[in-house]
Chain A
Amino acid sequence: MNTKKILMILCSAFITVLLLLAFAGCSGQQNAASSQGGTFQFTDSSGREVELPKNIERIAPSGPLAQIVLYTLCPEKLVGLASDISDKQFDYIDRKYASLPVFGNFYADTLNLESVMVADPQIVIDIGEPKSNISEDMTGIQDKTGIPTIFVQMEMDSMVSAYRTLGEITGETEQAQKIIDYIETTFLETKQKADIIPESDRVKVYYGQDKGLTAVVQGTVHSDVIETVGGLNVTVLEESIRGGAADISMEQLMLWNPDVILFAPDSIYDAAGSRGEWQGLSAIKSNKFYEIPEGPYNWMGRPPSVNRVLGVKWLSNLLYPDVFQYDMVKETQEFYKLFYHCDVTEEQVKTLLSKSTLKS
């Protein structure tokens, strides 16, 4: 036999197999709704009708945001994680969850659907901002895994409704109600007090990350907390289409002349006080610069989740101590207990806030 013949035979054999596989793949397969306790029809935030089991005991998160929210609601129902929990975060999160498998993040293209299937959850939940193809995406996961997949919208102003929905689905209505009460009280109180702060008294805030000159732009999710507590983010960039983080110059920052400067965790908080180029800013000279607390997550975003509720209390207290009179130690302890199921000592809170409290 010569090469050509062999090639021809192999090629045609291969093509035949491909075609057969393709046809086999196309033929429909029936969906077995196999769960005790029956099912119910649920319409998710993207408008999809999904049949869900009534008693949900096993849940897979599709991304880090869902992981955090579900952890606050029903940690023992998680069958896996979207992203690794770091050593630092385990100060506040129970070590026993370290053994859970890490499935990956759907919106980072790292969600391993086979790993999800191995863990055998009854439902896959995505939580967060609505993405442009959300309905298609969720249907895709559900079609490939055979596991009901839903999206629950959750932004700063839709936290309450998201927890209500999640509480109903998971059956954790009691914990959900506690969280809802906390969030509603906090936001209502903040809004009432922030609304009456006169325009002239509003504090101008700059929020920098990385080397300090990467600004978090006004209007983005990461800047939400500033606006909620009645502060003014000085980084207003018109030319930015949607507004992300933007590199700015020190000269621009001096022109903005913020009253208070916030640095992201692991930015240059420690060095800012001694660096020459930062000394032209009145906020630095008058010691009004702080680092955003982090543990287990950044209090102002990244990811923009429930951590921001405490961020609202912290920042309002920091910017307007006369209006928002909180004992941040107590507040922190209460929040961590309710959301992260974790008792933190006064010592721990003080370390957590060591770079984040008013300097006299």
Chain B
Amino acid sequence: MKTARETTQENTRETTAKYYLIAFSVLFAVVFVLSFAIGKYPISPGELLRVLFGKLTGTTQDWSNQVELVIFKIRMPRVLAGAMIGAGLSAAGAAYQGLFRNPLVSPDVLGASAGAGFGAALSLIMGLGYGAVTANAFIFSIAAVGIAYLVSIRTKKNPTLGMVLAGIMVTQLFTSATSFIKMIADPSNDLPKIIFWLFGRLNSIQQDELAFAAIPVSAGLLVLFLMRWKMNLLTMGEDEARSMGVNTRTVRIVIVATATLITAACVAISGIIGWVGLVIPHFARMLVGYDYRTMLPVSMLMGASFLMLVDILARTIITSEIPIGILTAFVGAPFFLYLILDRGNRI
């Protein structure tokens, strides 16, 4: 039986969580709109609204072609990509961290990024088109995790530890293979392409790539969202979860499969954007606690807002672009350090 005090505590907790959820939804909406408004090409908020409104109501075009191109062809794909990838990586990271009960786990712990990097590098050195590069990155990413998973099921006693270890090995294997490709790549042409692919960027994502990734990512996010409660049980530990009637093996497979699908799809179109999937779930936990029912949606909103914000920086700090994979850690790490110093007791 719960005591009266516990019940009140739980109620306050739920109320705070609710407020956080609302606050981050608002933040997300604000950043989303800002992302359309800010950039090197000057578009006033009034003009932006006029164009959007004009488009929605179908009035004749009384704005310049340039403004329309900037909003719909240049900014829209990257804003949508930022929102999707930020939410996807954060949700996948949160899921993995709960599954492995380890806060140092990131979405590519099972080799998803290393596999994608290898697939992309291989395609680039073979001179394949962008569609093939993205597709191969996606396929190899999933293959890498598949190998890690198949190896890990041989470990009977501690399946999660087995998975992490197998993941580390697979990551190393694919990373060295990528390095080998870099070594033999033509330094004036293919090598820079591989290096810049690995940096991670949102600016060169094409609309069709976005559409390709949107399906697995949104499906994956939906599955994770529906499994929030089961993830709560899993974080209590294998035995506890089993005693609550959860089929831990099935849940584990479903979570690994979904989180991998999300990560692979994100990494395949953007390259390797580190840090988001590792740290955003921490922020979310610090603010709303360990309950996945609120922590997961807050992670997604936060991750999406964060990546869109960093992308605004990536395209405005200097006149050229800065690869976003370089900036994410630059912007986020100091903030995270501050949080540790300020409220380290809550991590």
Chain A residues at the B interface, C-beta cutoff of 8 Å: 2-3, 6-7, 10, 14, 18, 20-21, 24-25, 27, 29-32, 80, 101-105, 107-115, 117-118, 129, 131-133, 136, 140, 143-146, 220-222, 240-246, 301, 303-304
Contacts and interface: CB of A to CB of B under 8 A. Distances in A.
A88 to B, nearest CB: 20
A137 to B, nearest CB: 9
A132 B190 CA distance: 10
B69 A132 contact: no
B301 to A, nearest CB: 9
- From A2, A3, A30, A131, name the one whose CB has the most chain B CB atoms within 10 angstroms: A3
Contacts of B203: 109, 112-113
B153 interface: no
A111 B319 CA distance: 9
Contact of B73 (A25, A30, A133, A241): A25
A20 B56 contact: yes
A244 B182 CA distance: 9
Interface of B: 17-18, 21-22, 25, 29, 32, 39-42, 52, 55-56, 61, 65-66, 68-70, 72-74, 76, 80, 125, 127-130, 183-193, 196, 199, 201, 203-204, 206-207, 294, 297, 315, 318-323
Contacts of B187: 220, 222, 244-245
A102 B22 contact: no
- From A114, A131, A146, A241, name the one whose CB has the most chain B CB atoms within 10 angstroms: A114
A132 B128 contact: yes
5 contacts: A14-B32, A103-B320, A110-B322, A129-B189, A143-B73
- From B189, B196, B315, B323, name the one whose CB has the most chain A CB atoms within 10 angstroms: B189
B315 A107 contact: no
B17 A109 contact: no
Contact of B320 (A3, A7, A102): A102
Contacts of B32: 14
Contact of A144 (B74, B189, B315, B322): B74
Contacts of A27: 55
A118 B186 contact: no
Contact of A112 (B22, B193, B199, B321): B321
A46 to B, nearest CB: 13
Nearest to B76: A25
Contact of A21 (B68, B76, B199, B318): B76
A29 B189 contact: no
B196 A108 contact: yes
B74 A113 contact: yes
A2 B18 CA distance: 8
A173 to B, nearest CB: 30
A24 B18 contact: no
Nearest to A9: B25
B65 A103 contact: no
A145 B69 contact: yes
Nearest to A242: B186
Nearest to B77: A25
Given A112-B40, A244-B185, A3 B315 contact: no
Contact of A102 (B125, B201, B318): B318
Contacts of A24: 52, 55-56, 72
B68 A29 contact: yes
B66 A117 contact: yes
A144 B319 contact: no
B321 A109 contact: yes
B319 A115 contact: yes
A114 B184 contact: no
A156 B318 CA distance: 33
Nearest to B192: A108
A263 B141 CA distance: 41
Given A25-B76, A244-B184, A114 B65 contact: no
Contact of A111 (B66, B129, B321): B321
Contacts of A144: 69, 73-74
A-B CB proximity, top 3 nearest = A104-B320, A114-B40, A24-B55
A304 B74 CA distance: 31
Contacts of B196: 107-109
Contacts of A220: 186-188
- From B42, B73, B294, B297, name the one whose CB has the most chain A CB atoms within 10 angstroms: B73
A24 B21 CA distance: 30
B204 to A, nearest CB: 5
A50 B128 CA distance: 25
B46 to A, nearest CB: 18
Contacts of A20: 55-56
Nearest to B324: A109
Nearest to B18: A3
A240 B322 contact: no
A7 B297 contact: yes
